[in-house]
């Protein structure tokens, strides 16, 4: 079978082998997909060894996405825009770097919910790697507005500035601090790492009014703090399990040219949380 790995540190928790095994079984693709724990200073060596051993590709997770970007000999536009790579395809001595995180988010919303991004006013909370990774695919849907809000406002401003060059649909692209967010958004996406410490980005509670779709990139067995907060103010909330599965489906497509059916995989993983 063709061999693939997911590389990270830590990596034991990764659900990617389970997801890709299910995709492979479903599509009849003959492949093997394993976890690879790599020391913090050992990423480049690990890539070299994988390529020598005939490995066909890799997913890359924390903390190696920037290094994967730098070591890629070619990059997709969405990887270029994200400034990070989560999917590598090995082709002879070439390393193709891609980023499927943003498309994963967008596809989860478009394919698995009734929410429309085109024409919507979108609020993106956070301006770190997770936020940057989703901006290009969001802009490609031509939202009416995309406002990036962050604790450190300067980082949000930098991102808004940087992404003007990709704003072909001419969305209103803005930046602000959490406290200044006005209650006029249709979609609110939490890309901060605040959830990790059970904290909330301090946006006014009024933004989570009825009719708002609130998406947390985090997920867990129970609804996240962000989801519970949003729902308690009338919003509809969704966690990031769908994004995880859709980014994997996009990587599977990059490698195999086949699109798996994500619905049954989502149900199975949800049940196993």
The tally of CA atoms less than 13 A away on the side-chain side of residue 102 is 25
For the CB of residue 201, give the shortest distance to ligand ATR in the complex, in Å: 4
- 9 interacts with ligand ATR by CB under 6 A: no
Helical ranges in 36-86 per DSSP H: 43-52, 65-71, 77-82
Binding segment (CB under 6 A) for ligand ATR, from list 86-94, 126-134, 225-233, 248-256: 126-134
Choosing from 104, 126, 143, 260, the residue that interacts with ligand ATR (CB under 6 A) is 126
Q: Is 65 a catalytic residue?
A: yes
User: How would you label 136-163 residue by residue, b for 16+ Cβ within 10 Å and e otherwise?
Assistant: bbbbbbbbebbbbbbbebebbbbbbeeb
Binding segment (CB under 6 A) for ligand ATR, from list 8-16, 38-46, 53-61, 192-200: 192-200
CA dist 212 and 115 (Å) reads 10
- 128 interacts with ligand ATR by CB under 6 A: yes
Which residue number, 101 or 246, has a Cβ lying nearer to ligand ATR? 101
Relative to beta strand 87-91, strand 121-125 is unpaired
CA dist 134 and 104 (Å) reads 9
Q: What is the 3-state secondary structure (H, E, C) of 208-231?
A: HCCCCEEEECCCCCCCCHHHHHHH
For the CB of residue 3, give the shortest distance to ligand ATR in the complex, in Å: 28
Q: Assess contact for 44 and 14: CB atoms under 8 A.
A: no
For the CB of residue 65, give the shortest distance to ligand ATR in the complex, in Å: 8
- 195 interacts with ligand ATR by CB under 6 A: no
- 194 interacts with ligand ATR by CB under 6 A: yes
CA dist 138 and 1 (Å) reads 35
15 is in an annotated binding site: yes
For the CB of residue 166, give the shortest distance to ligand ATR in the complex, in Å: 19
Q: Assess contact for 108 and 242: CB atoms under 8 A.
A: yes
Choosing from 8, 201, 242, 260, the residue that interacts with ligand ATR (CB under 6 A) is 201
Binding segment (CB under 6 A) for ligand ATR, from list 12-20, 29-37, 189-197, 256-264: 189-197
- Eight-state DSSP code of residue 179: G
Which two structure tokens, joined as six digits, stand for 88? 């590598």
State the angle between helix axes of 153-163 and 129-140 in degrees (0 to 180), rounded to the nearest 10.
40
Choosing from 151, 162, 209, 233, the residue that interacts with ligand ATR (CB under 6 A) is 151
For the CB of residue 61, give the shortest distance to ligand ATR in the complex, in Å: 10
101 is in an annotated binding site: yes
How many residues bind ligand ATR (CB under 6 A)? The answer is 16
- 179 interacts with ligand ATR by CB under 6 A: no
Which residue(s) pair with 4 in the sheet? 33, 57
Choosing from 155, 209, 233, 270, the residue that interacts with ligand ATR (CB under 6 A) is 155
User: Residues in the site for ligand ATR, rule: CB under 6 A?
Assistant: 126-131, 150-152, 155, 192-194, 197, 199, 201
- Residues making up the annotated binding site are 14-16, 61, 77, 86, 101, 126-130, 150-155, 217, 219, 240, 247
Active site residues: 65
């Amino acid at each position: 079978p063709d061999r693939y790995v997911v590389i990270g540190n830590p990596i034991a928790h990764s659900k990617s082998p389970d997801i890709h095994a299910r995709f492979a079984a479903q599509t009849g693709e003959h492949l093997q997909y394993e976890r690879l724990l790599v020391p913090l200073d050992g990423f480049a060596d690990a890539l070299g060894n994988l390529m020598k051993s005939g490995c066909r590709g890799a997913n890359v997770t924390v903390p190696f996405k920037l290094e994967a970007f730098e070591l890629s000999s070619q990059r997709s536009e969405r990887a270029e825009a994200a400034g990070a790579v989560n999917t590598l395809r090995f082709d002879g001595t070439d390393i193709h770097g891609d980023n499927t995180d943003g498309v994963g988010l967008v596809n989860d919303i478009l394919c698995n919910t009734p929410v429309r991004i085109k024409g919507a006013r979108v609020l993106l909370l956070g301006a770190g790697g997770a936020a940057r990774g989703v901006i290009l695919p969001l802009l490609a849907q031509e939202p009416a507005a995309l406002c990036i809000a962050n604790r450190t406002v300067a980082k949000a401003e930098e991102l808004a500035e940087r992404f003007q060059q990709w704003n072909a649909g001419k969305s209103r692209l803005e930046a602000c601090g959490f406290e200044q967010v006005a209650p006029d958004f249709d979609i609110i996406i939490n890309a901060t790492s605040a959830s990790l410490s059970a904290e909330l980005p301090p946006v006014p509670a009024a933004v989570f009014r009825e009719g708002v779709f609130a998406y947390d990139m985090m997920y867990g067995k129970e609804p996240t703090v962000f989801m519970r907060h949003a729902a308690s103010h009338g919003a509809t909330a969704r966690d990031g399990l769908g994004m995880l599965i859709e980014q994997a489906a996009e990587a599977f497509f990059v490698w195999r040219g086949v699109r798996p059916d994500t619905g049954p995989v989502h149900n199975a993983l949800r049940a196993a949380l």
